[in-house]
């Protein structure tokens, strides 16, 4: 079972993932829409735009990521990690603290993950120089949710799937955005 085969198989059925994501995302958008009180007047929307729109966009972004993670389900490590993070953030019921907590968690897991990776490398008598590839790999670990605790091979797999899901996300969101210019 090679990763290309797996991901190609998923590519052959992109509609399923996309459909799942779309449905979830739309529902979340509607929910956000309903929860957000409509601006009393158009002019006010302009005046309150910077902060309100910023907050609103953050919520939409979170909704996009969470709906994508839920669409993927438990099949992928990154989706599981992302759902865990979101669950934690929901429990605290504070969106802003979620970002801070995510940063903290990333730092912690990064440190832990690095230690684990270095230990693994030691155990395996890694020949390659960890320092050379560490920076790029570390960056990738930061980007991919849950990547800090992954082995490099698994990390690359998850990255490939994550990239595909991000592309789907961008596509869907752009379509939605285009419908309402």
Q: Residues 3, 101, 105, 106: which binds other proteins (CB under 8 A)?
A: 3
Number of residues in contact with other proteins, rule: CB under 8 A? 94
Answer yes or no whether residue 114 interacts with other proteins by CB under 8 A: no
The conformation of residue 180, written as its DSSP 8-state character, comes to: -
Convert residues 117-146 into a mask of x (bound to other proteins by CB under 8 A) and - (unbound). Answer: ------xxxxxx---xx--xx-xx--xx-x
Residue number, 90 or 167, with CB nearest to other proteins: 167
Is the separation of the CB atoms in 69 and 82 below 8 Å?
Answer: yes
Residue count of the chain? 181
Answer yes or no whether residue 61 interacts with other proteins by CB under 8 A: yes
Task: State the nearest-atom distance from the C-beta of 85 to other proteins, in Å.
Answer: 12
- Please give the residues from 63 up to 92 whose contact with other proteins meets the rule CB under 8 A: 64-65, 72, 74-77, 80-81, 84
Q: Residues 26, 88, 101, 110: which binds other proteins (CB under 8 A)?
A: 26
DSSP states of 10-51: HHHSHHHHHHHHHHHHHHHHHHHHHHSPPPSSHHHHHHTIII
Is the separation of the CB atoms in 81 and 74 below 8 Å?
Answer: no
Answer yes or no whether residue 98 interacts with other proteins by CB under 8 A: no
Residue number, 118 or 170, with CB nearest to other proteins: 170
Residue number, 54 or 90, with CB nearest to other proteins: 54
Task: State the nearest-atom distance from the C-beta of 62 to other proteins, in Å.
Answer: 8
Residue 37 φ/ψ region, left for φ over 0, alpha for ψ in the -120 to 50 degree band, beta for the rest: beta
Those residues with Cβ within 8 angstroms of residue 18's Cβ, 6 or more apart along the chain or in another chain: 168, 171, 172
């Amino acid at each position: 079972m090679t990763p290309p085969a797996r991901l190609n198989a998923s590519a052959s059925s992109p509609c399923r993932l996309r459909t799942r994501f779309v449905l979830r995302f739309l529902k979340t958008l509607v929910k956000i829409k309903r929860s957000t009180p409509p601006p009393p007047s158009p002019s006010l929307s302009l005046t309150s735009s910077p902060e309100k729109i910023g907050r609103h966009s953050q919520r939409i972004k979170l909704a996009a990521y969470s709906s994508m993670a839920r669409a993927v389900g438990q099949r992928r490590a990154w989706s599981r990690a992302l759902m865990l993070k979101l669950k934690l953030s929901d429990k605290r019921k504070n969106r802003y603290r979620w970002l801070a907590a995510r940063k903290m968690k990333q730092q912690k897991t990064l440190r832990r993950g690095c230690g684990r990776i270095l230990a693994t490398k030691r155990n395996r008598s890694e020949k390659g120089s960890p320092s050379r590839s560490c920076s790029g790999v570390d960056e990738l670990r930061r980007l991919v949710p849950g990547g800090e605790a992954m082995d490099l091979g698994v990390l690359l797999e998850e990255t490939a799937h994550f990239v595909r899901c991000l592309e789907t996300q961008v596509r869907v969101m752009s379509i939605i955005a285009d419908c309402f210019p």
